[in-house]
Amino acid sequence: MIRLNDLQFAYPNSNFALNISHLEIGRGEKVAFVGPSGSGKTTLLNLISGILLPQRGKVEVGGELISSLNESARRRFRISNIGQVFQRFELVEYLNVRDNILLPYFINQTLKMTAQIVASADAIADQMGLADKISRLPTQLSQGEQQRVAIGRAILVKPSWILADEPTGSLDPTNKLKIIELLFSQCDNQGSSLIIVTHDTAI
């Protein structure tokens, strides 16, 4: 369960302000936030994941009061429990496709790398149509391929919550359908919640 109560957030030296009196998203729900650029959609995802902290109010995710944790605790919680797809992908330039998908296991000591996990990363790459590019660096990939790597990284740990910021923005229609079906099936199989920020009302 995700709960936001009496939340207020504003960027310094900006007229932007996000105010949410109450928002509740249940386990296993699929939710899309749709709105114009600058309306706070990405900011909302970053507040839920603990990348940002509100000036006021509470953010609770899975019974954990994210808004009261320190930065390192928020990071550990995020890596272990939340799969986040960033709009700008945030791939590590010196890691190949496989290692970018495996990134959560490199940076979180509570996640144990095993041969089975590596095989899972390869299987996800195959589902994403990236099996023949598994050893390539991000600079050797198209925008759409980079986006698929970012999505693969988000779902590898089988997170309880998937937060996806424009996850199909760089994809052609065929791959867009494939990725949406993959995200939906991931949520259905694992009981995960899916929260998408998008301009695409078809989603």
Per residue in 78-95, pLDDT (tens digit) is 988 999 998 888 999 999
The secondary structure of residue 191, as a DSSP letter, is: T
Q: What's the mean per-residue pLDDT of the chain?
A: 91
Task: Kindly report the pTM of this predicted structure.
Answer: 0.88
Mean predicted confidence (pLDDT) in 165-171: 84
Mean predicted confidence (pLDDT) in 197-201: 84
CA angle 138, 144, 149 (to 5 degrees): 50
Three-class DSSP category at 202: coil
